[in-house]
Each structure stands twice: as structure tokens, then as C-alpha cells.
Amino acid sequence: MLDVASAKIDRFGWGNMDAGIKDALRRDWVSRLEKYELQEVKAGIDRLFHEAHGQLRSVNEHQVEAAILANRSEEFARLPKGPEPAPDPNRRRVTAEEATEILAAVGFSPKRFG
């Protein structure tokens, strides 16, 4: 994946880079992105290239992860919303007097500035 993304923009010399450095970069990408499906990683990279309008100079695993999370967020927002839960008929608002009694019963006394 990193090879493909780097080949698309090859602005930081992927073709001329030492094999050890390439391996280290691949390990970084894998360790950061291994928890995501390959399809999500591809979609994240596509999103970066699309949003950059051809101006993307380089791409890193953190940008890809952010794009994946943005894609997930948009998908989640499109899901149908569930029904609102019915209000609990046994629940009522506490009056100010009841709240004062409850606070006094547990030993709470507010400090007043003055």
C-alpha cells in the first residue's frame, strides 16, 4: 500500500530509497493501520488524493488513519436513527426543597463566597 501511494506521488524519492528505510516505513504503516480492513485503508488513501486535488506532496500513516476515521464517521452519520426511548413514568424532577434536603442528609454544605 505504501509502495503504491509513494509511487503515485514519488516526491520523497521512494524509488531511490534504501531498502532498510523502506522496510522501516512499511513497519510503521503496518503497525498503525493493521487494525483496519484493507478496503478501508485503500478508501482512506483515495480520500486523501481526492481531497488534495492533485496537490498532495506526501502521505503518511497518520493522515490515512484520519481519513479512515472520517470515512467511518460519515458512514455512521448516514445510519438510520433509532426511535427515541419512551420517558420513564416513574421519574420526576426533584424540587429545590427536596434537593436541599438530600444534600443536607449526605452532609453537603456549599461554601459561599461573599
C-beta of residue 44 within 8 angstroms of C-beta of residue 68: yes
**SS3 for 66-87, per residue?**
HHHHHHHHHHHHHCCCCCCCCC
Model-wide pTM > 0.85: no
C-beta of residue 62 within 8 angstroms of C-beta of residue 22: no
C-beta of residue 93 within 8 angstroms of C-beta of residue 39: no
Most confident of 27-31, 40-44, 46-50, 68-72: 68-72
Q: Would you state the pLDDT for residue 60?
A: 86
Question: pLDDT digits over 62-77, tens only?
Answer: 999 999 999 999 999 9
The rounded distance, in Å, linking the Cα atoms of 34 and 40 is 11
